[in-house]
Structure 1
Amino acid sequence: RPPPISRPDSDFEAQLGVQFVEGREGILITELNELFEKVGFPRRDPDRLRVALENTYHIIWVRAARQSRLARQIIGFARATSDGVLSATVWDVAVNPGWQRSGLGRALMERLTKKLVEDGIPTITLYAEPQVVGLYEKLGYVRDPDGIRGMAFQRRKKEKASLLTRA
């Protein structure tokens, strides 16, 4: 069962002047990279990030809706990759530091999790920074009871540089 949506979209629009948007249409890659940098994520190659978004199962993001210099700007983002039937993994949950502690991170995760559960995906995983584990636990995510840790295989810097020069 997905976590309930604790605040409707209309509350966020009325109180904060923001809108939730599903899908990648309207996302400016440069703006998304700026958001990632603001939250401490590495800047990504724009072409590779574009392909990553095209291959993402579901995207939800938040934009400023009021008429101001911030209008339509990305202020929050989350996405999930999935095979569509067995499992999904949540990635890149980010909220602009100036908008943190406003409920947007929770709202993004509630909506993303709800979509995945409604699609019948039984297992949803994520990797969390220690300071946000509590939020995910409140949303129904649990730490692995066996203490299993996520692992990743990453190319060495020399290999990455070699691949970039060949491209």
Structure 2
Amino acid sequence: MMAFWKIFFKHHNIFSSNLNNQLVNQDAADKILLVKYLEGRGTIVNVYLSFNSYVNLHDLEKLCDSVGWVRRPLKKVKIAIDNSFVTASLFYEQNKKKFLIGFARATSDTSFNATIWDVVIHPDFQGQGLGKMLMAQIIKQLRYEDINTITLFADPQVVNFYKHLGFITDPDGVKGMFWYPL
């Protein structure tokens, strides 16, 4: 599996942000400037990255609403975030207020495997590389922790986005399986 990651990082240049060769200490960094002077919502903003696990749940709900996701109970969303191995938020500040424009999280067994969940970028900021940068930072954090197998679930309309980042469907014939209560 390690050979896969060596090939992945050699052939997939997803680390094109100003954090290219810098690993972010999740506990030490409240916010890191990720993109300076990005156009969004008709204005120019600086976009920040935070690995702080605190996220305003109502802001996250609004962000998820903006892309048409089904609402989930906030109590359960909080539990999911609290039990995540890595969380990452993208935001800009205006008049001393934070505006959440991106989010992703990963769960892990902290040894071998991790799954990335809830990757979302506000529609006003899509198509500018923020999703790619967010994924790069999540993957970088997981690889720093020596996680070798990173999985995710993707809706059909975003599968190509993840394929461009080097994710493959059904590697070696492996199939995801699900169990749902009746």
Q: Same fold (TM over 0.5)?
A: yes
**Residues 14 and 132, structure 2, Cα contact 8 Å, conserved in 1:** no
Provide TM-score, normalisation by structure 1. Answer: 0.81
1:18 aligns with: 47
Q: Is the 8 A contact 2:91 2:99 kept in 1?
A: yes
SS at match of 1:53: helix
Distance 1:149 1:4 in 2: 26
Cα displacement string for residues 27-78 of structure 1 (whole angstroms, at most 9, x for unaligned residues): 111111111122122211111111111100000110112437xx41111000
Q: Does 1:119 align with 2:109?
A: no
SS for the counterpart of 1:78 is strand
Q: Residue 6 in 1 paired to residue 16 in 2?
A: yes
Which structure 2 segments of 5+ residues have no match?
A: 20-32, 39-44
Instruction: Check if 1:47 corresponds to 2:75.
Output: yes
Identity of aligned residues (%): 34
In structure 1, the gaps of 5 or more residues are: 157-167
Q: Which residue of 2 aligns with 1:62?
A: 90
Greater share of strand residues, 1 or 2?
Answer: 2
What is the CA-CA distance between 1:143 and the residue it aligns to?
1.6
Q: What pairs up with 1:17-166 in 2 under 5 angstroms?
A: 17-25=46-54, 27-67=55-95, 71-156=97-182
Q: What is the CA–CA distance in structure 2 between the aligned matches of 1:147 and 1:37, rounded to whole Å?
A: 35
CA apart distance, 1:140: 1.9
Aligned length: 153
CA, structure 1 residues 12+54, in 2 after alignment: closer, same or farther (shift >3 Å)? same
Are the aligned partners of 1:17 and 1:66 in contact in 2 as well (CA < 8 Å)? no
Q: Does the Cα contact within 8 Å between 2:34 and 2:49 map onto a contact in 1?
A: no
- The one-letter amino acid paired with 1:5 is F
Using the alignment, how far apart are the partners of 2:124 and 2:167 within structure 1? 26
